[in-house]
Amino acid sequence: MINVRVVNAHRRYRLAKKPFALSVKKVLKKEGIRKAMVSIIFIDSMVCRKMNKKHLHHDYGTDVLSFDYEQPGTLEGEVYVNLDQAGVQAKNYNASFTEEVRRLVIHGTLHLAGSDDRTSLERKHMRKKEDEYLGVHSMKKGKRG
Annotated domain spans of the chain: 2-134
Q: Which class is 2-134 in CATH? A: alpha beta
pLDDT tens digits for 33-65?
A: 999 999 999 999 999 999 999 999 999 989 999
Give the burial class of 86: count Cβ atoms within 10 A of its Cβ; 0-12 exposed, 13-18 middle, 19 or more buried.
buried
Q: What is the pLDDT of residue 100?
A: 97
Is 139's pLDDT higher than 60?
no
Q: What is the pLDDT of residue 144?
A: 54
pLDDT tens digits for 91-102?
A: 999 999 999 999
Q: Model pTM?
A: 0.92
